[in-house]
C-alpha cells in the first residue's frame, strides 16, 4: 500500500515536472521531446488508474502520433527558416 | 488517499499550468503543447475523480478514450494552421495587440 | 505585471479546485454498477467497449464525424510548403519498416478482435494502423498523400457512413442506436471494423497530408 502510494506520488511529480519543463523551455525541440516524455508518463498513470484501454490509446496516439506530428511540424518550420 | 484522487489533483495542477501557458507563451507550437496539457489535465480529473472510491469506472474511461482521439485531431488541425501561417508570412507567433 | 496576475490567477484556481475535490461527497449514482447490470444485453463482455459502442454510441458516432471534419479542414488549408528533404532510401531501414508494419497490422487486427472481451477495440487498432502508415512514410516506403482518390475517400468516410447507416436502419425500431439484443454483437463488430479502417486512414492522413509537401514542388 505505502509502496504504491509512493509510486503514485512520484509519478504525479514526474508528470508535473515534465509538463512544467515542456512549457518553460525556450528550445521548441526540447519542449516537444519533454512533451513526448510526458505522454509516456501519462500512459503509466492510466495503467495505475486501472484503465488499460486508455493506456493503449495514449501510448499509440499521445506518445507516438502526436510526437511524430509535432516533430514533423518543427522540421517544416526550421526547414523554411534556412531558406532565404 | 486513493490513486484516483492523487491523479485528479495532478490533473487540476496540469490544467492550471496549461491555461497559464496558453495565455503567457507566445510561440504557437508551445501554445499547442499548453493546450494539450490542459486536455490531459481534464482527462485525468474526469477519470481520477470518478475512481476516487477505488473501483474502475468504464463510463469516464470510454469518454476519455474518444477525447484522446479528438485531441490528436485538434492538435493536427492547429499544426496545419500554424504551418500555413508560417508559409504565408514566416511567423510562428500571432501579432501582438497592444491593449494596455 | 500581466504575467504575475495570470500566474496568481492560475494558482488560485488550482487551490480552489483542489479544496473542492478534497471535500466532494461520494457520488449518488454508481455508474460501474449500472454498466455491470446492463452488460449482458450489450452484445460484448468488455465494459469500456460496451459503453463506447452501445450505451454511449451516439458520442462515438459524432466523434468519428468530428475527426472526418478535422481532416477535411486540414485538406482545405492545404500545407504544401515543399521544403522537406528527399525521403531516405536506406534499404535496411525500409526492410525493417516493412517487417514492423506487417506485424503492426497483425496487432491491429488482434486488438480489434480482442476488444469485445478485453482491453482493445477500434480506437487502439486504428491508432496502431495509423502509426504503421507513419512509420512506412518516414522510412520512405509510402509516399505522402497529395489528392485523395476515390478509394481513399470512401475509406476515410466508411466508419462514419456505416455508423450512420446502422443508426438509420435502427431508427425505424424506435430509439437511435439501440441494437436488437440478438444482433448487437455482430453489429458492434461491423461498426468497429469500419471505424478501425476509417480511424487508421484519418489519423494517418492527418500526418501524410500535412507532410504532403515532400517532392511536390520539385
What mean pLDDT is predicted for residues A54-62? 89
Do C48 and B62 lie within an 8 Å CB cutoff?
Answer: yes
- The answer as to whether B13 is a domain residue is yes
Q: How many domains does chain B have?
A: 1
- The answer as to whether B11 is a domain residue is yes
- Classify C64 as helix, strand or coil: helix
- The answer as to whether B98 is a domain residue is no
- The answer as to whether B94 is a domain residue is no
Residue C140, C-alpha cell as written in the block: 520512405
pLDDT in tens, B21-79: 999 988 899 999 999 999 999 999 999 998 888 888 899 999 999 999 999 999 999 99
- The per-residue b/e assignment along C77-115, b for 16 or more CB within 10 angstroms, e otherwise, is eebbbbbbeebeeeeeebeebeeebeebbebbeebbebb
Residue C165: closest CA among C199, C201, C191, C186: C191
Mean of all residue pLDDT scores within chain C: 84
pLDDT in tens, C97-110: 899 999 999 999 99
Which of the residues A50, A60, A75, A80 would you substitute to probe the C interface, choosing the one with the greatest number of C C-beta atoms within 10 Å?
A60
- The answer as to whether B96 is a domain residue is no
- The answer as to whether B54 is a domain residue is yes
How far B34 CA sits from the closest chain A CA (Å)?
A: 7
Task: Check if A10 contacts C (Cβ < 8 Å).
Answer: no
pLDDT in tens, B5-26: 999 999 999 999 999 999 998 8
Interface confidence, given as ipTM, is 0.88
Are B65 and A57 contacting, i.e. CB atoms less than 8 angstroms apart? yes
B82 to chain A: closest CA residue: A73
pLDDT attached to residue C150 = 87
For the ranges B37-41, C50-54, C98-102, C123-127, the lowest mean pLDDT is seen at C50-54
- The answer as to whether B10 is a domain residue is yes
pLDDT attached to residue C64 = 93
Beta bridge partners of B27: B93
Where do the domains of chain A lie? Answer: 2-82
C203 to chain B: closest CA residue: B73
Are C81 and C215 contacting, i.e. CB atoms less than 8 angstroms apart? no
How far B59 CA sits from the closest chain C CA (Å)?
A: 6
Do A79 and C83 lie within an 8 Å CB cutoff?
Answer: yes
pLDDT in tens, C170-185: 887 777 777 887 788 8
What mean pLDDT is predicted for residues C47-60? 86
What mean pLDDT is predicted for residues C160-171? 87
Dihedrals phi, psi of B10, to nearest 5 degrees? -55, -40
pLDDT attached to residue C120 = 84
Here the CATH number for the domain that contains residue B41 is: 1.10.287.3510
Are A48 and A8 contacting, i.e. CB atoms less than 8 angstroms apart? yes
Are C199 and C160 contacting, i.e. CB atoms less than 8 angstroms apart? no
* Residues recorded for chain A: 84
For the ranges B75-84, C171-180, C199-208, the lowest mean pLDDT is seen at C171-180
Where do the domains of chain C lie? Answer: 2-208
Q: Which residues of B touch C119 (CB under 8 A)?
A: none
Residue-number span of the structural domain to which B38 is assigned: 3-89
Amino acid at each position: 500500500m505505502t509502496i504504491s502510494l509512493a509510486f503514485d506520488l512520484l509519478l504525479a511529480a514526474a508528470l508535473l515536472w515534465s509538463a512544467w519543463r515542456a512549457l518553460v523551455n525556450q528550445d521548441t525541440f526540447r519542449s516537444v521531446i519533454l512533451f513526448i516524455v510526458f505522454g509516456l508518463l501519462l500512459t503509466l498513470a492510466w495503467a495505475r488508474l486501472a484503465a488499460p484501454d486508455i493506456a493503449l490509446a495514449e501510448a499509440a496516439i499521445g506518445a507516438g502520433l502526436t510526437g511524430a506530428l509535432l516533430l514533423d511540424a518543427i522540421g517544416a518550420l526550421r526547414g523554411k527558416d534556412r531558406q532565404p | 488517499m486513493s490513486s484516483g484522487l492523487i491523479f485528479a489533483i495532478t490533473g487540476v495542477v496540469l490544467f492550471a499550468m496549461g491555461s497559464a501557458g496558453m495565455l503567457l507563451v507566445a510561440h504557437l507550437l508551445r501554445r499547442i503543447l499548453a493546450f494539450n496539457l490542459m486536455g490531459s489535465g481534464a482527462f485525468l480529473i474526469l477519470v481520477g475523480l470518478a475512481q476516487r472510491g477505488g473501483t474502475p469506472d468504464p463510463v469516464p474511461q470510454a469518454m476519455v478514450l474518444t477525447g484522446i482521439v479528438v485531441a490528436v485531431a485538434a492538435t493536427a488541425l492547429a499544426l496545419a494552421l500554424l504551418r500555413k501561417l508560417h508559409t504565408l508570412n514566416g511567423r510562428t507567433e500571432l501579432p501582438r495587440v497592444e491593449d494596455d | 505585471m500581466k504575467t504575475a496576475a495570470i500566474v496568481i490567477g492560475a494558482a488560485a484556481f488550482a487551490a480552489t479546485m483542489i479544496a473542492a475535490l478534497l471535500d466532494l461527497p461520494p457520488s449518488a449514482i454508481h455508474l460501474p454498477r449500472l454498466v455491470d447490470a446492463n452488460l449482458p444485453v450489450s452484445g460484448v463482455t468488455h465494459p469500456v467497449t460496451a459503453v463506447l459502442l452501445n450505451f454511449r454510441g451516439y458520442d462515438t458516432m459524432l466523434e468519428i464525424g468530428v475527426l472526418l471534419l478535422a481532416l477535411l479542414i486540414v485538406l482545405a488549408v492545404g500545407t504544401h510548403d515543399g521544403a522537406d528533404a528527399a525521403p531516405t532510401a536506406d534499404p535496411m531501414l525500409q526492410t525493417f519498416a516493412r517487417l514492423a508494419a506487417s506485424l503492426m497490422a497483425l496487432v491491429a487486427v488482434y486488438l480489434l478482435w480482442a476488444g469485445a472481451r478485453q482491453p482493445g477495440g477500434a480506437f487502439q487498432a486504428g491508432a496502431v494502423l495509423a502509426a504503421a502508415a507513419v512509420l512506412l512514410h518516414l522510412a520512405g516506403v509510402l509516399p505522402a498523400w497529395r489528392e485523395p482518390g476515390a478509394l481513399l475517400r470512401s475509406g476515410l468516410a466508411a466508419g462514419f457512413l456505416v455508423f450512420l447507416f446502422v443508426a438509420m436502419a435502427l431508427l425505424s425500431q424506435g430509439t437511435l442506436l439501440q441494437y436488437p439484443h440478438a444482433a448487437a454483437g455482430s453489429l458492434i463488430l461491423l461498426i468497429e471494423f469500419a471505424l478501425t479502417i476509417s480511424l487508421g486512414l484519418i489519423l494517418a492522413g492527418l500526418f501524410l497530408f500535412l507532410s504532403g509537401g515532400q517532392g511536390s514542388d520539385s
